Amino acid sequence: MIKARTAKFQIGQVVRHRIFSFRGVIFDIDPEFNNTEEWWLSIPEEVRPHKDQPFYHLLAENAESEYVAYVSEQNLLPDDSGEPVRHSQVAEIFIKDKAGGYRPRNPSLN
């Protein structure tokens, strides 16, 4: 029997990494690992996440740069700072609502 997992976070939610100092807004979710084996094996074994959990695509940023990150659910925490995400692609994908959250510009793409 296959165990169905429900994603803890949602598209448009701002999250931060549990270990590394970066944060971002979620723009896509894979119900389980969906990247290359090479990518997965490049993660040091002592911190390598399990594949059978949701993985999130983030428009991510740290103090030095902006990039796209692929992160396991176990390594994410909600970011409640209220600070906007400065990633240059945020405006292409999201509309900022009055509460400061992010809504997809085109919800039918998700």
Q: What is the pTM of this model?
A: 0.90
Cα–Cα nearest to 39, from 51, 21, 24: 51
pLDDT for residue 47 is more than 90: no
**Mean pLDDT, rounded, for 66-81:** 96
- Asked if 36 contacts 20 with a C-beta cutoff of 8 angstroms, the reply is no
β partners of residue 16: 23, 77
**How many angstroms separate the first and last alpha carbons of the chain?**
27
What domains appear along the chain, each with residue ranges and CATH number?
11-102 (2.30.30)
More confident residue, 53 or 109: 53
Among 19, 4, 29, 30, which residue's Cα sits nearest to residue 76? 19
